[in-house]
Amino acid sequence: MQEPQKPDGTPDFGQAVRHFFHSKGLHLGIGALLVLGYYASLPGHLWQSTPPFQVAPVPQIAAAEVGSGPAAVPLPLPVQDGHSPAWVSLPEGRLRALWQHQGGLHSATYTPASGDRETGRWSDTETLPPETHAGKGGLDRGVVVVRGARDEVHIYAISGGATPALTLAVQDGSGWHLRSGPLLSALPGQAVRLAGPAARRTDGSHALLVQRGDTLVWLRVAIQEGRQRGTQQGAPYIAASQRLPDDQAAGTAILLADGGESALQLLTPAAEPGPLFWSGTADRGERWSVPQALSAAGTLAPGNSLAALRLAEGDWGLVAVSEGGALQWHRGQDAGQRWRTPVTLADRAGQCRRPDGQATGAPALTIAADGMVHLLYADDGCRLRHQVFSAAWTGETS
């Protein structure tokens, strides 16, 4: 193509630009750029299928329902002020309890009896650095504690300001490492909080329940491996988002994996006492069944009123705060077809309120390597209580 020339023979760059803008080459070039943009806008994980759910391991003793009655061992966590508890299972059968108190996040670790030590023991209470949970405001916006793919402890929180963003603190052998994550809201000032416990998938990503305004959304949060796509190594990113249907307004949702493909979603009432709803998926969470009321659980208090765990295939254990504030243990079998008579664990629970009147977190439930179920909850005086019982317990003391 002849380069446009000025009368004095020097090339006119402006003429060249104008010529280029009207040429066919530009037209085809921009068409090619559109294809490039299409490719660029496709998520990197699009070509990978949604990873299966990771099924929480269940100790054989619990599955076999050996033993009954409240257990004397292991040692309960000493009663102390606190609320919004959480459990993390650590390697070698250790359990770590975390709870909130006076704007801080505290933890203690239980080491079970082994070898020359006849009884288990609790470590001293440790107060976590404020940056691990984005300060006091971060606690108000909810904190989710989970075990990472390499047995490290992950704390997800939401940083404040008009642009709420996900933060991740990872504790490994060398201490805490802080990672900034993506923005979580579309509009500035939108209230965003973490609304429930996390579930794991086999690729190490976590399903986090986020409340954005009045909407509940499941986010699949993965950890960036290496410096790909310009993000910080180890930083969390949102791999997928799935909004709960509007007619499924819930206080919180708990996801229990029953297999790689199948899972159960339990939904507590949002604002008024009501029944517990459940829905299921058989395709890794792509589609969910229509929610149905679980009448066996009775009427639940609204909001964070539920803790749940998987005891065996099709066998579930729930601790729910009833409408009257009683804490009850429900044991369901045969995929929820049979339910035992609920056992009342405490008459007045779920009454603890923060100083600003907001409800505190749900009870926390986990199962230890010895098959014992560990429950942490805040009583009506906002004191943290720890109960240990067998999964097969029917409420009768022997």
Partner 1 sequence: MMTYAVLASLVLATLVYAALATALLTAVGSTRTPASRWPVIAAVAICMAVLAGLSSQGLFDGLSDGLSDGLPGAWAGQGRFSITSGLLAVLYLLHPWCQRRPGWGSLALPDGQRRMLIFGVIVAGLVVYPAALGLGPGAGAADIWGAGFGDFRLSTGLLCLGLALWVLRAYHLCLLLVAAQCAFALQLLPSGNLWDYLLDPWLCTGAIVTVLWALARPGTPVGPVPPREA
> Cβ neighbours of residue 361 under 8 Å, at least 6 residues apart?
83, 84, 85, 86, 100, 142, 304, 378
Residue 50 in contact with partner 1, rule: CB under 8 A: no
- Measure the CA dihedral 267/165/366/217, to 10°: 20
What is the identity of the amino acid at 158?
A: I
Counting contacts by CB under 8 A, is residue 34 touching partner 1? yes
Owner of token pair 């779920």: 350
Least distance CB 250 / partner 1 (angstroms): 13
Range 112-141, binding partner 1 (CB under 8 A): 131, 134-138
151 binds partner 1 (CB under 8 A): no
d(CA 337, CA 296): 10
Site residues for partner 1, 310-339, by CB under 8 A, read: none
- Judged by CB under 8 A, the stretch of 7-15, 199-207, 264-272, 338-346 that binds partner 1 is 7-15
**Exposure pattern of 329-355 as b/e (b: 16+ CB <10 Å)?**
bbbbeeebeebeebbebbeebbebebe
Nearer to partner 1, 180 or 341 (CB): 180
Give the position of tokens 């923005």.
183
**Element (DSSP H or E) covering residue 14:** helix 13-21
Least distance to partner 1 from the beta carbon of 41, Å?
A: 4
Count of CA atoms in the C-beta half-sphere (13 A) of 198: 26
Residue 366 C-beta: closest distance to partner 1, Å: 30
The interface with partner 1 within residues 78-107 (CB under 8 A) comprises: none
- Measured from the CB atom, is 245 or 381 closer to partner 1? 245
Q: How far is the CB of 260 from partner 1 (least distance, A)?
A: 21
Interface pattern 152-181 for partner 1 (x via CB under 8 A): -------xxxxxxx-x----------x-x-
In the complex, the smallest distance separating the C-beta of residue 26 from partner 1, rounded to whole angstroms, is 7
- Taking contact as CB under 8 A, which single stretch among the options 70-78, 112-120, 229-237, 388-396 is the one that binds partner 1? 229-237
- Per-residue binding letters, 264-303, with partner 1 (x by CB under 8 A): ----------------------xxx---------------
Q: Which residue lies nearer to partner 1 by CB, 287 or 338?
A: 287
The correct pick among 11, 78, 129, 188 for binding partner 1 (CB under 8 A) is 188
Site for partner 1 in 365-384 (CB under 8 A): none
* Residue 354 is a binding residue for partner 1 (CB under 8 A): no
Q: Is residue 376 within 8 Å of residue 384, measured between CB atoms?
A: yes
- Token reading at 103: 């704007």
Q: CA-CA distance, 95 to 354, in Å (whole number)? A: 26
Half-sphere exposure of 12 (CA within 13 A, CB side): 10
